[in-house]
A and B are shown apart, each in its own frame.
Chain A
Amino acid sequence: MLLLGWIWGLLFAPQDAVQGNSYRIIFLHVPSVIFAELIYFFMAVCALMHLVWRVKLAAYLIKSAAPIGAMITFIGLFSGSIWGIPTWGTWWQWDARITSTLILFIMYLGVLTLHGSFSNLEKADRLMSILVIIGVVNIPIIKKSVDWWSTLHQPASISVSGSSSIDPSMLYPLLISIIGLGFTLISLGILSSRSYILSREKNKKWVLMHV
């Protein structure tokens, strides 16, 4: 599905009037930035579940989602800055949205480092959840910052309610890319959380049965 969206986007979609062909990066850039935020939200929900109801699984999910989030945020930042070279003439701008995405990346790294630095894993789980919940304040700032400071970024191109400022011939491949990347990341998440859960619960009976 991801492949379909990309092939459609790369090969068949028309040129953008202003930006020329370089806009084709959008099919990687926009989905990855969307998921960079979504994964963090997911982690925050898990963190809440872990802290309030003491669901162990939630902490495992955070731990396995964080590297994926860091990866996809990195891809988003990277593709964005490459896209910036032909369009804005600069690869980096201290623009609010880029900055807050960078902060998001740092948050992911912080979560991972925090978890990695404790020998008592249950303690690490709880502290990590606290950090994740505090960090979720960051996401509205990313969203709002576009309005607070006038920036280079075009405002969000796809709106749920009706009129989109993007042509269907570009919109469809973009949507398909988003969904496709979603599935890709979910399968990746399942894989890595499986290995993590197995390694954490290695003393339990069901794990032995499973293997």
Chain B
Amino acid sequence: MKLFSVQNITYSINENKLFHNLSFEINSGEGLHIKGGNGSGKSTLLRIILGITSPSKGLIQSYDQDLKISYLGHKNAIKNYLTPIENLELLFSGDDLNVAFEWLNKFGLSHVQDELTASLSFGQQKKLALIRVLAQSSDLLILDEPFVGLDQATADQLNSFLAQKISQNAGLILTSHITPMIDCAVLDLGAKNA
């Protein structure tokens, strides 16, 4: 099933073109790995697909208005003056909250769950941000550099989770400098902006 189609996208910022006439489709049950050098517009492309940033030219077509998307951006979207538990309580309720707490255990964060998030390490904060994404039941996952700052064990957990999600017919788009251990189509934006 088609989820999104991206048609002839051009994006320029202050008259500098990031990419030109880009077209592709995103289907459910498929992964897409966006590669490219620093500043090649990977994150911007994700934000355009999400509808946060509007492209200079071109069209994003969504085939399902009720599509549930979870997005992990550069910014973690967690409050560092709250504890991990409070953060999750703010975001989830009911069954999702239980799922989120399970992830907290799986990622080995349960011993810091009552400390302020600000005092956690970068990797721990990243894990917390991942939980925010993983515990949502969603049809499409859009992850911007999900592997940065994770240790090998967590990266493996994330890989297997993503593989499982894809087998459950969810779509996946991610940007990463390392190749994920999942079957993915690859879109290369090139080394730098041409």
Contacts and interface: CB of A to CB of B under 8 A. Distances in A.
Asked whether any CB of A lies within 8 Å of a CB of B in the complex, the reply is yes
Interface of A: 119-122, 201-204
Given A120-B13, A120-B14, A201-B15, 7 more contacts: A119-B14, A121-B14, A122-B13, A122-B14, A202-B15, A203-B15, A204-B15
Contacts of B14: 119-122
Interface in B1-51: 13-15
Interface of B: 13-15
A202 B13 CA distance: 14
DSSP majority for the A interface?
Answer: loop
Contacts of A202: 15
Contacts of A120: 13-14
Contacts of B13: 120, 122
A204 B16 CA distance: 11
10 contacts: A119-B14, A120-B13, A120-B14, A121-B14, A122-B13, A122-B14, A201-B15, A202-B15, A203-B15, A204-B15
A87 B15 CA distance: 54
A119 B13 CA distance: 10
A149 to B, nearest CB: 46
A119 B15 CA distance: 12
A95 B14 CA distance: 44
A203 B12 CA distance: 12
Shortest 3 CB-CB distances between A and B: which pairs?
Answer: A203-B15, A121-B14, A120-B13
Contacts of A201: 15
B15 to A, nearest CB: 4
A112 B14 CA distance: 18
A120 B13 CA distance: 7
A122 B56 CA distance: 11
Contacts of B15: 201-204
Contacts of A119: 14
Contacts of A121: 14
B105 to A, nearest CB: 42
Nearest to A119: B14
Contacts of A203: 15
A128 B14 CA distance: 16
A3 B153 CA distance: 81
A201 B13 CA distance: 12
Nearest to B13: A120
A165 B136 CA distance: 73
A37 to B, nearest CB: 33
A202 B14 CA distance: 10
Nearest to A121: B14
Interface centre among A120, A202, A203, A204 (most CB of B within 10 A): A203
Nearest to B15: A203
A210 B13 CA distance: 23
A202 B16 CA distance: 11
